[in-house]
Amino acid sequence: MSMKTFFTQFFTWWNGQTLGTRFHTWRHGRPVGEDEFGNLYYEGGVDTEGRTRRWVIYKDYAEASMIPPGWHGWMHHRVDTPPKDDNYQPREWQKPHLPNLTGTSFAYRPKGSVATHEQRPRVTGDYDAWTPGN
């Protein structure tokens, strides 16, 4: 392990796994699978509710929206079988997974939003503002 990797794991939680997670994975973790983004999934030990503990080690930046739907269900104990063992196939109406774009230049900004450079459309007369006493 390089010094950069060591310091990154020691001082940050958002860049992959921390040293605590690495140690817990080494002691209790059993590899379960990997998703299309390279995130690794583990289980082992027991949580406070008596269920098998499940966790993910992100390939890059720790971002919960990077867990695909099939793995999300397994992580939250909605299903017992991981997607790789269940031959999980997204339904035809499911869109390909996209990360959370909030806070990026690709975030959704509706017409008239203060975050855009557009000017808000003027009220067209179909709106009556509320005034106290009316």
What is this structure's pTM? Answer: 0.60
Tell me what the mean pLDDT of segment 83-97 comes to: 77
For all residues of the chain together, what is the average pLDDT? 76
DSSP for 29-78, please give it.
-EEEEE-TT--EEEEEEE-TTSSEEEEEE-SSB--GGGS-HHHHHHHTTS
Residue 6 has pLDDT above 80, yes or no: no
**Rg of the chain over all Cα atoms, to the nearest angstrom:** 22
